[in-house]
Amino acid sequence: MKLSQLAETLIGSEIVKLGAEIKERIIQGEKIYNYTVGDFDPSIFPIPKELENEIVNAYRQHFTNYPAAEGNLDLREAIALFTKHDEQLDYSVNEILVASGGRPLIYATFRAVCDKDDTIIYSVPSWNNNHYVHFVEGRHVVVEAKAENNFMPTAEEIRPHIKDATLISLCSPQNPTGTTFRKKELEAICDLVLEENQQRGEQAKKVFVMYDQMYWRLTYGNVEHFNPVSLRPEMRHYTIFIDAISKSFAATGVRVGWSLGPAAVIAKMKSILGHVGAWAPMAEQKAVANFLPEKEAIEKYLTHFKSGIEERLRLIYDGFIQLKTEGFPVDVIVPEAAIYLTIKIDAVGKKTNTEILLSHQKEVTAYLLSEAGLAVVPFSAFGSSVDNPWYRLSVGTCKMEEIDEMINRLRKALKKLS
């Protein structure tokens, strides 16, 4: 059956596909350490009790009708105050758009800003940029970010392509790497955008930055989160923020996200999503509007929540450093933020104890799953080359008691290679 060109050429989510395969193997009785999904096990990381109570109360009060297309006014007012208090970003309610999580807002950003054949710059590895560019039939300009820069793009890597660009898609903390922009590097990117837009003149189409900061509250140690508008206030005219409760409060299924941006862009995004109908549910909007002002409850929750995530990241990081010290072909990047650890398993060219050659990275990934029960997502699923030896490891469903066990199983599997 012949369908549209988009339908025929669109690739499904590699992560969802991998996750489904892992779940099936678990159902069949295999012991799998499933670190593939950017989600949370609610038995380990539940949403805040105060938020849960607000959701239940909202349904009991029969908030089950359509919400406002741009998001309910009380929620947008709460987001404005929340953002001003936590980030010192001052946005009015007509500069805020609410939707059912971050994905519809990302889609609306691409649709509002980009035309067919427009140049869109993004780095890899990164989450889903390649698919959104495909949706709008844009021209992919891909920056292959490097390990020495913690897989974050630099201004110098973006500079050669900015003359033709309409959109630069940035994410910090980054999915899949769990790394962040340094202040100096993000400032340099902002200066590049401002310089380019000034040169384009009044009537020309500008270059915008989509800034996905979904994980910004989940930073660890001395790591500090930065955003374009705080660093360069003039970037307010060209920046569209993507944010939500999804990751900060382990509320991935609650589906309340928001964008901050220039009122004219936000209005067009509202129109697009009005036709798509990607609204956050009424009851959840009412609940979040009541929850966001609860500063003490939020602070208490985040302290406990973040410590649980960081402890898991640090323990697995330490385990990989120990494996590296023992001479195994692994590496790992110091965890900075989010729920992800960037690990490297460079076993291409090695043979198993049954003399099977691991001739490419896909076979290494399969070997890790079959021999160590370790399920992680290769960076190739995030747009990088198929021979990239780096992986995303997510701890959102990680049980503390499994960590040593997983590291030992991985050690045994690596020992079988020669």
Q: Would the pLDDT of 218 be above 90?
A: yes
pLDDT tens digits along 275-312:
999 999 999 999 999 999 999 999 999 999 999 999 99
Residue 89 is predicted with a pLDDT of 97
Establish whether domains 5-45+299-415 and 49-294 are of one fold: no
Q: Would the pLDDT of 115 be above 90?
A: yes
Confidence band for 203, pLDDT divided at 50, 70 and 90: confident
Q: Would the pLDDT of 353 be above 90?
A: no
Residue 74 is predicted with a pLDDT of 98
pLDDT tens digits along 241-275:
999 999 999 999 999 999 999 999 999 999 999 99
Confidence band for 106, pLDDT divided at 50, 70 and 90: very high
Domain ranges of the chain: 5-45+299-415, 49-294
Question: What are the CA-CA distances from residue 117 to residues 16, 120, 134, 137, 211 (Å)?
Answer: 28, 9, 10, 6, 21
CATH fold for domain 49-294:
Aspartate Aminotransferase; domain 2 (3.40.640)
Q: Would the pLDDT of 225 be above 90?
A: yes
What are the residues facing 326 on neighbouring strands?
Answer: none
Considering the chain, what is the average pLDDT of its residues? 95
DSSP string, 36-89: --SS--TTTSPPPHHHHHHHHHHHHTT--SPPPTT--HHHHHHHHHHHHHHH--
Reduce the DSSP state of residue 99 to 3 states and report it: strand
* Structural contact between residues 391 and 383, judged by C-beta atoms closer than 8 angstroms: no
Distance CA 218, CA 340 (A): 11
Give the type of residue at 357.
L
Q: Would the pLDDT of 57 be above 90?
A: yes
Distance CA 230, CA 246 (A): 23
The CB-based long-range contact list for 76-84 (8 Å cut-off, 24+ gap) reads 76/258, 77/289, 78/288, 78/289, 78/290, 78/292, 78/293, 79/258, 79/292, 81/292, 81/293, 82/292, 82/293, 83/260
Residue 26 is predicted with a pLDDT of 83
**Phi-psi region at 349: left, alpha or beta (left = phi > 0; alpha = psi -120 to 50):** left
Residue 403 is predicted with a pLDDT of 97
Q: Would the pLDDT of 174 be above 80?
A: yes
**Residue 315's CB: how many other CB atoms inside 10 A?**
15
Confidence band for 20, pLDDT divided at 50, 70 and 90: confident
Per 3-state DSSP, what percentage of the chain is helix, strand, and coil (rounded to 5)?
A: 45, 15, 40
DSSP structure class, residue 148? G
Q: Would the pLDDT of 14 be above 80?
A: no
Question: How large is the average pLDDT for residues 39-49?
Answer: 97
The pair phi, psi for residue 263, each rounded to 5°, is -55, -40
Find where tokens 């994905």 sit: 103
Q: Regarding predicted confidence, which is higher, 350 or 253?
A: 253
pTM equals 0.94
Distance CA 343, CA 179 (A): 12
Question: What are the CA-CA distances from residue 93 to residues 263, 321, 362, 371 (Å)?
Answer: 9, 47, 47, 53
Return the CATH number of 5-45+299-415, one of 2.10.210.10, 3.90.1150.10, 3.40.50.300, 2.60.40.10: 3.90.1150.10
Reduce the DSSP state of residue 292 to 3 states and report it: coil
Find where tokens 């208490």 sit: 300
* Structural contact between residues 43 and 275, judged by C-beta atoms closer than 8 angstroms: no
Distance CA 10, CA 356 (A): 34
